[in-house]
Amino acid sequence: MAQDKYGDKKVRSVKRWSPNPAPVEPMALPDYLFDELNRLGDIIFNVDMLQLARTNVEPGGVPSAGAVQRKTKVRDGDIRYADGSNWNPGGTGEGIYAFFNNTWNKL
């Protein structure tokens, strides 16, 4: 049976999907498809419910050691959930921020 690859149950947020390598063994294909479809379902759910993943790195910023982050260009209308630690927009602490007028604004 497929295992949960997301780890900590407190935060089960998946922001992006890219396919894992397909298995070589045909018998492993059902579990692979199950896992991939679950990952896609989580992403669709997050978009549908507008669930934001907590982040401590400004979009486009330098991630902490060992973390992987794709380069993103900040645009007006972007919305993020900052945890207020390493990334604390405007010094106002943890919260949901929207980017407009060339700055992050707490909502």
Q: Is residue 12 part of a domain?
A: no
Same domain, 39 and 80: no
Distance of CA 19 to the CA centre of its chain: 15
Distance CA 79, CA 98 (A): 4
Distance CA 29, CA 24 (A): 8
Same domain, 62 and 44: no
Same domain, 37 and 80: no
Percent of the chain clearing pLDDT 70 (strictly above): 75
The string of pLDDT tens digits covering residues 51-93 is 788 888 888 766 555 555 555 778 888 899 999 988 898 788 9
Instruction: Give the pTM.
Output: 0.55
Q: Is residue 1 part of a domain?
A: no
Same domain, 41 and 80: no
